[in-house]
């Protein structure tokens, strides 16, 4: 269980803070006029370099807000956010993959991936090399001159992933990137992501509602309360990598984590007065 009590704000640029990668210390975020909607209250979370952390929790609990804080798109109303020891700001050090593909419809696959490199200061040849390398990384070099309308949903998401990876970010933020694709493609994309992460080792913060996806991908799962969001627990997954090399779902540790996290998610929803399921008895029936 996380200790949500406030700590002294870390010095911007301190060695310890920089080593932590991402530090979110007792952060509160409100939207709208005072008092407004409280999205996060007293949320604390740390993620080290080259680690894969999944943010898991009920709908509307502020998981996407955390990504926006880390990317510097919004600022907290109180508390501290540091990225490698400094206040966060958008830039090539941080890549962001959305649930919707957000591709440029009139640009080719190559053009969409190149778009993310415009602010990097690379030469034209270096940009071309980066685009080719990352399209090859996600298995799309053969459709480099196709347009988004000619691609399947899974291929569009791989283009979005290549665009985020092309600047070679130190941090990759992923907001339910596989939620809008079919189950079979989603499973293949999870394997693809694990394979790429094994090579690239960016610090990843990955948002999902799926317990199975969280366990399969993560080093650690940060479990969020209902809104206003806070981290109520951080669970170490502890499954051997690479997880595509064996049937991770059959492992006793996987089964144990799935039962535990599913139960905790159910508790959080049923105990939330704002939930339409508040107070319901959803206890699974006993086997006969």
Q: What is the pLDDT of residue 90?
A: 87
Assigned token pair, 49: 């370099």
Residue 159 lies in a domain: yes
pLDDT computed for residue 174 by the predictor = 95
Segment 268-272 shows an average pLDDT of: 77
Structural domain boundaries enclosing 115: 103-168
Give the pLDDT band of residue 245 (cuts 50, 70, 90). very high
**Has residue 207 been placed in a domain?**
no
Average pLDDT rounded to a whole number, residues 235-260: 96
- Is residue 44 domain-resident? no
76/79 Cα distance (integer angstroms): 6
Contact at 8 Å (CB) between 11 and 17?
A: yes
Q: pLDDT-derived band of residue 279, with 50, 70 and 90 as boundaries?
A: low
How confident is the model over 20-29, as pLDDT tens digits?
Answer: 799 999 999 9
Whether the predicted pLDDT of 1 surpasses 60: no
Nearest to 168 by CA among 143, 147, 199: 199
CA-based R_g, the chain, Å: 20
What does the pLDDT read at residue 16? 44
Return the structure tokens found at 214.
């969280």
Beta strands per DSSP E along the chain: 22-31, 37-47, 52-56, 78-83, 94-97, 171-175, 203-208, 220-224, 231-236
- Does 148 reside within a domain? yes
The answer as to whether 108 is a domain residue is yes
C-alpha span between 189 and 56 (Å, rounded): 19
Mean pLDDT of 32-57: 89
SS3 for 59-87, per residue? CCCCHHHHHHHHCCCCCCCEEEEEECCEC
Q: Report if residue 157 sits inside a domain.
A: yes
**How many Cβ atoms sit within 10 Å of the Cβ of residue 30?**
17
Dump pLDDT digits (tens) for 130-150: 999 999 988 899 999 999 999
- Asked if the structure places residue 249 within a domain, the reply is no
- Count of structural domains, the chain: 1
117: helix, strand or coil:
coil
In a domain, 162, yes or no: yes
Q: How far is residue 71's CA from residue 77's CA, in Å, rounded to a whole number?
A: 16
Query: Is the predicted pLDDT of residue 2 greater than 80, yes or no?
Result: no
Cβ proximity of 66 and 73 under 8 Å: no
- Give the SS3 label for residue 133: helix
| Average per-residue pLDDT for the chain | 86
């Amino acid at each position: 269980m996380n200790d949500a009590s406030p700590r002294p704000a870390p010095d911007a640029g301190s060695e310890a803070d920089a080593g932590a990668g991402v530090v979110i210390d007792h952060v509160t975020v409100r939207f709208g006029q005072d008092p407004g909607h409280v999205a996060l209250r007293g949320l604390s979370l740390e993620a080290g370099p080259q680690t894969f952390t999944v943010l898991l929790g009920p709908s509307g609990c502020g998981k996407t807000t955390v990504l926006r804080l880390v990317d510097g798109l919004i600022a907290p109303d109180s508390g501290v956010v540091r990225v490698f020891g400094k206040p966060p700001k958008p830039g090539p050090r941080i890549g962001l993959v959305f649930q919707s593909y957000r591709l440029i419809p009139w640009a080719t696959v190559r053009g969409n991936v190149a778009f993310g490199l415009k602010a990097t200061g690379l030469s034209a040849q270096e940009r071309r090399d980066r685009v080719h390398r990352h399209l090859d990384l996600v298995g799309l070099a053969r459709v480099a001159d196709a347009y988004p309308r000619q691609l399947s949903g899974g291929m569009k998401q791989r283009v979005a992933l290549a665009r985020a990876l092309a600047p070679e970010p130190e941090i990759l933020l992923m907001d339910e990137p596989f939620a809008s694709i079919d189950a079979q493609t989603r499973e293949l994309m999870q394997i693809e992501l694990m394979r790429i992460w094994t090579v690239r080792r960016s610090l990843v913060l990955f948002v999902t509602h799926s317990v199975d996806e969280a366990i399969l991908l993560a080093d650690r799962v940060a479990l969020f309360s209902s809104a206003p969001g806070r981290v109520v627990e951080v669970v170490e997954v502890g499954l051997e990598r690479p997880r595509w090399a064996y049937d991770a779902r059959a492992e006793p540790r996987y089964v144990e984590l799935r039962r535990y996290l599913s139960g905790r998610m159910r508790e959080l929803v049923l105990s939330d007065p704002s939930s339409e399921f508040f107070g319901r008895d959803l206890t699974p029936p006993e086997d006969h």
